[in-house]
């Protein structure tokens, strides 16, 4: 029996320069693939996520997507959202509304809009925010190295479909130098039911035309099954945007986060809010470039 082929793209997300962002595999025409087949493909690509494009079941959506890591399915993830939208548009898809897509995924409908810069941005899903208790904070302080946490900003478990432990450090330099105790963090991540640590800190006097061109530096360190550093993370930055809004600590109506520096990437995430205030809606944006285009033989 001849092999079936499906269209495939591998894209680099949160960058306008190939090999500097977070790679994503996008598989088209996946409606008749089983969950086991999708998981097998995602395990084989060995990327942080692989997505599968399907026909939507909600009439409001442009498309439906299923998102897999090498070990499990996720209801939502940020760089797969932008990367999948990019691959779909580049393939010739015409949105129902110009400059706007609606993605159907495990958390429901996620709007994605085109910005004047040509970047696309998704609306951060609602997040559940749980501040850490005193005992957990003490364990966190010991695991990260005493003196680096900014205790003026409460550390929290934030879940927007992907749960992260959000911790503000005193400076961007502290983020870049961070070398947590892995065993202690693995236990704390399990205790807080999160995927990993998202540590962020401010660049001193950062302006958009500075060398850093970012307000914050962020690192997303995974513990457990993945056990690695994620290059550039949409869900963690969406969680950060929601947490800053809830704590009324937004640095402005818009700002930029840099991620991936320690592992040789240069990801840039653009965050903006519909309006000021604790209930401001956050949009997480970035550029995407295609690196590989072809077909899978199944």
- 137 and 269 in a single domain? The answer is yes
Average pLDDT over residues 22-32: 97
Residue 1 has pLDDT above 80, yes or no: no
The parent domain of residue 204 ranges over 128-280
- 291 and 213 in a single domain? The answer is no
- 135 and 168 in a single domain? The answer is yes
Residue 279 has pLDDT above 70, yes or no: no
- 169 and 261 in a single domain? The answer is yes
190: enclosing H helix or E strand: helix 182-191
- 97 and 227 in a single domain? The answer is no
- Backbone phi, then psi, for 295, in 5-degree steps? -135, 150
- 82 and 137 in a single domain? The answer is no
- 132 and 110 in a single domain? The answer is no
- pLDDT value, residue 56: 98
Helix (H, G, I), strand (E, B) or coil at 85: helix
Which tens digits make up the pLDDT trace of 205-250? Answer: 754 444 447 999 999 999 987 789 999 999 999 999 999 999 999 9
Residue 51 has pLDDT above 90, yes or no: yes
- Backbone phi, then psi, for 106, in 5-degree steps? -65, -25
Residue 285 has pLDDT above 60, yes or no: yes
Instruction: Give the DSSP letter of residue 179.
Output: -
- 176 and 236 in a single domain? The answer is yes
- 101 and 245 in a single domain? The answer is no
Radius of gyration of the chain (CA): 19
* Number of domains into which the chain is organized: 2
Q: Whole-structure pTM over 0.85, yes or no?
A: yes
Dist. CA 256–CA 215, nearest whole Å: 6
* Active-site choice (49, 73, 114, 208): 49
- 225 and 260 in a single domain? The answer is yes
Dist. CA 168–CA 270, nearest whole Å: 18
Dist. CA 271–CA 269, nearest whole Å: 6
- 111 and 157 in a single domain? The answer is no
**Is 107 in contact with 125 (CB distance < 8 Å)?**
yes
Average pLDDT over residues 176-204: 97
293 counts as catalytic:
no
Which tens digits make up the pLDDT trace of 154-188? Answer: 999 999 999 999 999 999 999 999 999 999 999 99
| CATH assignment of the domain containing 57 | 3.10.310.10
Q: Name every residue whose Cβ is closer than 8 Å to that of residue 92 and which is 6 or more positions away in sequence.
A: none
- 162 and 273 in a single domain? The answer is yes
């Amino acid at each position: 029996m001849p092999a079936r082929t499906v269209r495939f793209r591998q894209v680099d997300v949160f960058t306008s320069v190939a090999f500097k962002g977070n790679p994503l595999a996008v598989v088209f025409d996946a409606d008749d693939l089983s969950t086991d087949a999708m998981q097998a493909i995602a395990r084989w690509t060995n990327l942080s996520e692989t997505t599968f494009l399907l026909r939507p079941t909600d009439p409001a959506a442009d498309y439906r997507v299923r998102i897999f890591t090498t070990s499990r399915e996720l209801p939502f993830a940020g760089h797969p959202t932008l990367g999948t939208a990019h691959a779909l548009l580049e393939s010739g898809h015409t949105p129902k509304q110009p400059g706007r897509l609606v993605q159907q995924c495990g958390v429901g409908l996620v709007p994605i809009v085109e910005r004047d810069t040509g970047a696309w941005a998704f609306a951060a899903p609602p997040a559940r925010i749980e501040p850490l208790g005193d005992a957990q904070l003490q364990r966190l302080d010991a695991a990260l190295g005493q003196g680096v946490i900014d205790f003026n900003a409460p550390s929290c478990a934030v879940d927007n479909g992907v749960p992260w432990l959000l911790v503000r450090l005193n400076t961007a330099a502290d983020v870049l130098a961070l070398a947590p105790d892995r065993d202690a963090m693995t236990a704390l991540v399990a205790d807080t039911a999160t995927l990993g640590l998202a540590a962020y800190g401010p660049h001193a006097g950062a302006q958009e035309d500075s060398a850093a061109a970012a307000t914050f530096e962020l690192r997303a360190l995974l513990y457990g099954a993945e056990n690695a550093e994620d290059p550039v993370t949409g869900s963690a930055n969406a969680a950060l945007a929601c947490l800053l809004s809830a704590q009324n600590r937004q640095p402005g109506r818009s700002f930029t986060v840099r991620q991936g520096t320690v592992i040789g990437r240069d990801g840039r995430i653009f965050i903006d809010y519909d309006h000021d205030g604790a209930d401001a809606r956050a949009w997480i944006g970035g550029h995407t470039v295609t690196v590989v285009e072809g077909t899978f033989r199944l």
